[in-house]
Amino acid sequence: MSKFSHIDNEGSPSMVDVSSKEKTQRTAVAKTTVLLSKKILKELKDNEIITKKGSVFQIAKIAGIMAVKKTSELIPLCHPLSINNCSVDIKLSDRNEVIIICTVNLKGKTGVEMEALTGATIAALTIYDMCKSISHKIVIKETVLLEKTGGKSNIIK
């Protein structure tokens, strides 16, 4: 038997069968950290950066939510899910890092970790895309799952 959930006993890719699982309330929270150059940070006013393309953080929030809804189209073998709620919060830390927190929940048979991770990552990529005209000195530092609840294993960091 394979140790990986998406590999069957013959070693072939396989979607996980969740048909016999009960629906439970499930939540996942992911965080992505983005480092912006001083040149970009000089453009920050009232916790927002306005470029020719628009309000960077507001558009990144929308992109993150849209990505959550499209996760099964982006990641092979990921189940399409009916998301009940999603939020993307973007703040500047004390160390001038952009912190993106994506929270996703639903009542379903499978978790929403991939959706939360995808939402946070796409929000970060949107910030990169919108700020690259000012400077390419942007680092998408890390994406990490902070919390997962509602399945057979819970994770809280």
pLDDT computed for residue 2 by the predictor:
53
* pLDDT level of residue 19 (50, 70, 90 thresholds): confident
pLDDT computed for residue 132 by the predictor:
95
**Is 92 a domain residue?**
yes
Is the confidence at residue 21, as pLDDT, over 90?
no
Q: Which amino acid is at 47?
A: N
**Is 154 a domain residue?**
no
What does pTM read for this prediction?
0.91
Number of C-beta neighbours around residue 22 at 10 A: 7
| Mean pLDDT along residues 68-97 | 95
Report the CATH number that the domain containing residue 92 is assigned in CATH. 3.30.70.640
CA 82 – CA 113 distance, rounded (Å)? 14
Q: If you average pLDDT over each of 12-26, 33-47, 114-128, which comes out highest?
A: 114-128
Task: Give the active site residues.
Answer: 129
Q: Which residue has the tokens 């390419």?
A: 136
**Is 1 a domain residue?**
no
pLDDT computed for residue 5 by the predictor:
77
**Is 3 a domain residue?**
no
**Is 119 a domain residue?**
yes
**Is 14 a domain residue?**
no
Q: If you average pLDDT over each of 10-19, 125-134, 145-154, which comes out highest?
A: 125-134
Q: How many domains does the chain have?
A: 1
Q: Which domain holds residue 102?
A: 24-149
CA 20 – CA 95 distance, rounded (Å)? 47
